[in-house]
Amino acid sequence: MKDAVKDFKTFILRGNVIDLAVGVAIGAAFGAVVTSFTKNLLLPIVAIPGSKADFAQYDFTIRSSVFRYGQFINDILSFVLVAAALFFFVIRPINILMARRKTEPDVMSTTRDCPYCLSSIPIAASRCAFCTADVGAAS
């Protein structure tokens, strides 16, 4: 029993378990911020032409089964707005920053593709090791 408790303690205190816990907590908090941004700032923009951006009251009934297509439209609209907000306000700016910070020079490839079997072969090879075709010297 003592070994099991010791092993459990080691497992819990591993770096990747704690990193995962922190990531989940930050993700939940960030999700709340993105949802609030979408609900409170983007959905009212959609409602500008009409009176309200809520389609939840739209439904139809067939044999006492209620189909709430309005709520489905709300969910799709919310998903698209959340995805757009994440892309334009998080992903795109981070990609731009990462491209600016890239300082390593582009590394030239040391291989080329065989024109016959498309296997990766060294640039200096004159014969493909996979299909044994004569590929000639690299130019």
This prediction has a pTM of: 0.48
Q: How far is CA 64 from CA 60, 73, 78, 82, 120, in A?
A: 10, 21, 28, 34, 63
Residue of 83, 102, 103 whose CA lies nearest to 94 = 102
* Residue ranges per structural domain of the chain: 2-103, 108-139
| Burial classification of residue 43, based on how many CB atoms lie within 10 Å of its CB (0-12 exposed, 13-18 middle, 19 or more buried) | middle
pLDDT in tens, the chain (139 residues): 788 888 887 777 776 777 787 788 888 888 888 888 877 887 777 777 766 667 778 888 999 998 988 888 888 887 888 888 888 888 899 888 888 887 666 666 788 889 899 889 988 888 998 899 898 877 6
Task: Identify the CATH class of 2-103.
Answer: mainly alpha
Closest Cα partner for 86 from 25, 42, 47?
42
Give the model confidence (pLDDT) of 103-128 as tens digits. 666 666 788 889 899 889 988 888 99
